[in-house]
Structure formats: structure tokens, C-alpha cells
Chain A
């Protein structure tokens, strides 16, 4: 992956073409990450994919994480690979929870990376993050009529308590 100075160089170059898109960089445990503004995530991805010197054209994984109780709460991660130089870079878009019944929204990158089709559906299914422009944003792993976003941190794990011999209620 690009090392720390290389990451700063990439950030500098993106600043010239897409100003104010990258909010911060993070180089932690030998992994380079760009933290971007969610409204500009498509610009950054397109820049990384099509720029002649960068060419991160393989989206390896699109997933999300819930950072509750930290704000902003959600982050959508894009893991990109440049296969010629064998380098990885991560793009993180942090989304805040709008609160009440509304769902956080971000643009879909299905035109840039068709592999994101099923992966964005999975993120929607588990976190409730809506991807604007996705052709078929429906639940993929849970039943279609399921209520709730299972992978959010405030969703209970579920299951039922294990009943041991003497822990049962007496019904007499």
C-alpha cells in the first residue's frame, strides 16, 4: 500500500482536482485510509479509479461499520486495489444518523464498480444506509418483511436464554 508520505501526496493531488473532498487521512497499522465527505465520495472514487497515476480500479470490498457511541455514527468503507502496483487503499465515508425514522443516505457507486451491487444491498439490509441511484435496493439476506437493521450496535443479538434445570419458573 502507499506509505504515509505517499498517502499525503495522494491527498494533495486529490485536493487540486476535488477540493474539500478528503477530510482527513489515516495511516494506521500499515494501512492507508482516506476519510472523505460522503457527498463527494463518488468524485474521490472516480478520481482514484481513472487517474492515470493511481488506477485503483478493483473494488475489493464495500462494507460498513457502526461506531456508536462515537459521532458520526456510520462509516462506509471502500477497499480498493491497484493490481499493477499491488497496492491497497481504503476510502471511508462517515455518515451521521439523521435520527428518528430517517435513514442515512449516500450515493451509490454501482456505475463505477458493478461489484458494489450486492454489497450495497447487504449494507442497506444490515445498517439501513440508503444508496441513492442503486437499481434494486432491497433486502438481500434477511426476509423481505423483516423490521429492523440487525447489524446496528443498538439492535439486540437475539436468541433465547438457555433454560437450566433450576432456573425455570414454578407454575403452581
Chain B
């Protein structure tokens, strides 16, 4: 793409004119408050400097001030479309710190909600990215399905977003009657809907022209930059933490990892859309294989006892009181636990110093690291391609800024 311009320049022998514009924290094509300072030469991007921090909330510092279970609502508001993943990263880290084993039913329920959240995140991505590229109707269709997922979340947990459903030891309550039927109906309907989305976009000439061949970054460069998730898989590397490290119920699930070839924006789109279908399959399998049993661990030192016991058992009352007022103490140690989020490797580092509050909670957020590859994607292309790359990069600024 730089070729015609180079020859034209040589023919006209013109000085380069660089215009620096600010695609500020507020603009229509954004996935959050990301500020881009772009050096343009005509329509070609010569340099892009992302400026972040406009939604920095100090969540990691706030977490040091709260007992371990109170950290869970803070932590899920980082990357605000994949809230279950943050809960899982944190609860998994604390469970490793205290050596707590979660029961099988909780493992399957967690996997189920994680995959529903992955579909939710990809639907939000598809709707907003298609909106950025001009395919405005996709927003309405994707958010129709997203509302169905949020209905499922609300049925199980009472809240649409930010449900605080995962607790250290399992999940906070069991799924209600009727949830399984509704969820199964959704999981069966999802591949059909994805087929409809593909029918809308896959042969759309404008969409193909804007995404094919744009924003290509090589696989080695992505690995150097620490990029994981669908971006790396679109470049041809089948690295997925669900298959690499065994956690929750993923070893028992049968699913494929979609991998791209070229690594351009079109591959990223195809990889995420295929992941939605795979996630729907995992949801069905989880429902089929959901074992009976307790939904949270038994250890009363870390898990609240059921309310029915509080009126009969003195120990339960004391445990409940201790857990709610001070919280449990976690012995000194540190743990780094990471899972595969919708955008890549989501890691949680928890440092415990023996008191009831964590001494340090740090999240390795995938969007923060993936954003470093944006410069490689955008430089050398047109401004319109930069917008397409930004959409396909799928940054969520809540996670970037924490």
C-alpha cells in the first residue's frame, strides 16, 4: 500500500507534510476512552501514540483496603464486558493461596458462565466493530442476542452485569429451575444466529475491502509484544490457555480452537465469530454433564455457611460472624493465576501477608498488552484501516486502565 505513494513522491519530489491530529478521548469510533495522537501524511498514518489512563479507577489500590471477598465486586468492574473472567482469575488465585478445592458442580457452573460471558463479549465486540465500519444493523442484531444472555445472567444471579456470582470456593448460589431449559434453547439457537451474522457480513463487499489485508502483524512480532488471545490465533498460532493449562472443567469439554492464516483484520473477525460457535457448544456440553452436588466448598473457614444452619448451629453462627466482619486471613504467599479471557491471557497476582486484606492485587490485563501491537497495525496504512484495526483489536479501556 505504500508503493504508489512512494513513487508519486519521487515523481513530484515533494517535502513530506506531517499533520498531527488528536483522535481524542471522546469520539464516535471508540471502544472506550482511548486517545490516539496520530501523525498523518495525507491519509497515511506515519505514527500513532496511544494515550491511556482516562478511566483509571485505582481498583488495584482499592483492593488493598478491603477484605478478600469484598474485592470480588471491585475486580469484576475492570474489563466490564467480561466480568465473570475477572472474578474467576481472582477467585482462582485466592483458592490456590488457601489451597481450597472447589466441588465439581461449581467447576462446571463456572465454566458455563465463563463461556456465556465469552459469547457476550464477542457479541458486544461484533456489534460495536461493525458499527464502526458502517454495518450499523449488526449492532441491533448482536444486542438482541446479548439481551438474551443478560436475561440468563439475571435469572441465575439477579443482576444483568457485574453479578458477583463467583466466590472463593465455588459459586454463590445454585442455578434456578428453568435456567437449564432456557440456556439450552439459547445454546442451540446461537449457531443459527451466528450463521445469520455471517450471511450479513461475509460477502459484504465494503466489509471485505476494509478488513482483508489490513492491519497485518506477523506472528513473531505479536509473540514479542506479548499478545495473546484471538489476535495471536488469527496470526496462525494455536495458543489457548484453556487447552494449555487445565483449569475448571475445560479438560472434559470437547471444543476446537479456531486459528487464522494471514493475521489481517478479516482473520480476526473470522476467529472470533467461530469462537462464538465453539463457546455455544461448550455451553451445551456443560449443561449435559452438569454433576449434582454442592455448589460451593464446605470449608467454613472461607465459605459462608448456608443460612438455614444459622438458627441451629452455634459454630455456623460464629463462622458467619467472623467471615462477614473481619473475613478470613490468608497466610503469607503470592500466586499468579491466569485464564483465557475473550481478549487473551487474563492473569491475577495476589500477594497475601497474613492479614484479612490482600497486600497487592494486580491484573495482567490482555487489552493493556495487546494495545502495544496497535502501532504496528496502524502505521503504514490509511486512517480508515486504523479504525478497522482498532475495532478488530477489541480493547476494553476499563481493562487497559484498571
Contacts and interface: CB of A to CB of B under 8 A. Distances in A.
Task: Check whether chain A touches chain B (CB < 8 angstroms).
Answer: yes
Interface of A: 28-31, 57-61, 63, 65-67, 77, 79, 83, 86, 88, 90, 113-115, 117-119, 122, 139-143, 150-151, 153, 155, 157-158
21 contacts: A28-B333, A29-B99, A59-B226, A60-B338, A60-B347, A63-B349, A63-B364, A65-B334, A65-B349, A65-B351, A86-B245, A90-B336, A114-B225, A118-B368, A139-B53, A140-B52, A140-B53, A141-B402, A151-B61, A155-B61, A157-B64
B61 A141 contact: no
B369 A119 contact: yes
Given A29-B335, A59-B226, 7 more contacts: A67-B351, A114-B225, A115-B225, A115-B372, A142-B53, A157-B58, A157-B64
Contact of A141 (B53, B245, B347): B53
Contacts of B239: 83
Contacts of A153: 64, 359
B283 interface: no
Nearest to A86: B244
A100 B226 CA distance: 35
Contacts of A67: 351, 353, 359
Interface in B39-91: 52-53, 56, 58, 60-62, 64-65
A115 B369 contact: yes
B54 to A, nearest CB: 9
A61 B347 contact: yes
Given A31-B335, A114-B224, A143 B364 contact: no
B32 to A, nearest CB: 14
Nearest 7 A-B pairs (CB), nearest first? A115-B226, A61-B364, A141-B53, A141-B56, A65-B360, A63-B362, A114-B224
Nearest to A69: B353
Q: Residue among A29, A83, A113 with the most chain B CB within 10 A?
A: A29
B235 interface: no
B52 A157 contact: no
Nearest to A117: B372
A118 B367 CA distance: 11
Interface of A is mostly: loop
A85 to B, nearest CB: 10
Contacts of A141: 52-53, 56, 401-402
Contacts, number: 95
B226 A60 contact: yes
A67 B65 CA distance: 15
Interface of B: 52-53, 56, 58, 60-62, 64-65, 96-97, 99, 223-227, 239, 244-245, 333-336, 338, 345, 347, 349, 351, 353, 359-360, 362, 364, 368-369, 371-372, 401-402
A155 B362 CA distance: 16
B245 A77 contact: no
A77 B245 CA distance: 21
Contacts of A140: 52-53
A171 to B, nearest CB: 31
Which has the most chain A C-beta neighbours within 10 Å: B61, B96, B335?
B61
Contact of B223 (A58, A65, A88, A139): A58
A61 B349 contact: yes
A93 to B, nearest CB: 14
Contacts of A158: 58, 61
B105 to A, nearest CB: 24
Contacts of B65: 157
A141 B52 CA distance: 6
Contacts of A143: 53
Contacts of A88: 336
A150 B61 contact: yes
A161 B296 CA distance: 36
B67 to A, nearest CB: 14
Contacts of A58: 223, 226
B50 to A, nearest CB: 9
Contacts of A122: 368
Contacts of B351: 65, 67
B62 A29 contact: no
A79 B56 contact: no
A28 B98 CA distance: 12
Contact of A65 (B244, B359, B371): B359
A83 B219 CA distance: 14
Contacts of B360: 65-66, 151
Contacts of B372: 114-115, 117-118
Contacts of B62: 157
Contacts of A151: 60-61, 360
B97 A29 contact: yes
A158 B368 CA distance: 25
B373 to A, nearest CB: 9
A114 B227 CA distance: 11
A7 to B, nearest CB: 16
**Which of A61, A90, A114, A122 has the most chain B CB within a 10 Å cutoff?**
A61
